[in-house]
Amino acid sequence: MHDNYDYSILREVGKVSAEALAHSKTIVKEGAMLLDIAEELESFIKKRGMDLAFPVNISTNSNAAHYTPEAEDRSMLSGNEIVKIDLGARKDEYLGDCAITIDLSGRFSRMVDAASEALENAISLVKAGRPVNEIGREIAKSAEAKGFRSIRNLGGHGIDKHDLHADIFIPNFDNGETATLEEGQVIAIEPFVTDGEGIVAEGEHLQIFQKTRDATTRSNDLRSISDFIDSNYRTYPFALRWLEKGTASGEFKIRRALNELARQDAIESFPVLVEKKGGMVAQAEKEMIVEKGGCEIVTK
């Protein structure tokens, strides 16, 4: 993955991603609508001349990941939530990915600290040749030291050109996987901690999709939606609300097109992930370049 890889563009993407994440702290507050937050953060990235690596995720309480608002979403923050913001900028084929947790309730600061400390402790272990299970062991140990569990079926990942989840999985516990990090590799470390069981399951909310290959259809309406995805998002994740705005088609017609693409195995869907026992979830994530003796954080 290191041949013809322009790390200077990756650093640009990481910087804008981190700036957008920092901006989220100023707008995630009691009374804010989730749709307004998502659209403002997505606009923030675009105004800096970049595209989006994926739709802004705003996952609250026991929702761990993959919640992005619907087109007519009227959900509003009450001030009692723990809020995960996960986002990334994109320039050319280079992708950003980072996340923080904001505790509006004042009740989960220890959990937020546990996720942040787990991330920093894990980052301290990153270097070429490090087995990934050692990183996972440190994440779980850090969470448990604060009285929480790491979520075992979520984790960090490699990031390559075009591919947000590439070639290596970095667990949030010691899963025995001894694959090692390589110098020059781009990765995201992503602890999730919870006061629940430590497992997530798919929920009903489904607003994020990704086209994976070409498909055929005899319907002009469905073909126009498929062509719009190809022209605007290619094989990068997109939100259903983006299609509603971009194609001026209603949700029914768009979902019909997405269902047809799914029948042809041409699309992947990302339903919201919910802690299995309803536990609260905190998340922290940074993207970095693996170096011989450490790493360079790019989302800073």
106 vs 48: CA distance, rounded Å: 33
CA distance to 4, 158, 275, per residue, from 176 (Å): 32, 18, 23
CA distance to 2, 65, 96, per residue, from 206 (Å): 35, 11, 22
Q: Choosing from 86, 113, 138, 260, which is the catalytic residue?
A: 86
166 vs 52: CA distance, rounded Å: 18
1 pLDDT more than 60? no
pLDDT at 125: 98
Q: Is 157 a catalytic residue?
A: yes
Question: If pLDDT is split at 50, 70 and 90, which confidence band does 249 have?
Answer: confident
Per cent of the chain over pLDDT 90 is: 94
Domains of the chain: 7-203+275-297 (3.90.230.10), 208-269 (1.10.10.10)
Q: Is 190 a catalytic residue?
A: yes
158 vs 43: CA distance, rounded Å: 26
Mean pLDDT for the stretch of residues 184-191: 98
Q: What is the pTM of this model?
A: 0.96
pLDDT at 217: 77
pLDDT in tens, 199-233: 999 999 999 999 999 988 778 878 899 999 999 99
φ/ψ (deg, to 5) at 9: -70, -40
Written as one letter, the residue type at 110 is: R
Q: Is 285 a catalytic residue?
A: yes
Q: Which residues pair with 189 in a beta bridge?
A: 286
Q: Choosing from 42, 73, 97, 117, which is the catalytic residue?
A: 97
pLDDT in tens, 115-166: 999 999 999 999 999 999 999 999 999 999 999 999 999 999 999 999 999 9
Q: Choosing from 19, 23, 103, 165, which is the catalytic residue?
A: 165
Q: Could you give the angle at which helices 251-263 and 220-232 cross, rounded to 10 degrees?
A: 80
Q: Choosing from 157, 160, 260, 287, which is the catalytic residue?
A: 157
pLDDT in tens, 32-79: 999 999 999 999 999 999 999 999 999 999 999 999 999 999 999 999
Q: Which residues pair with 194 in a beta bridge?
A: 149, 281
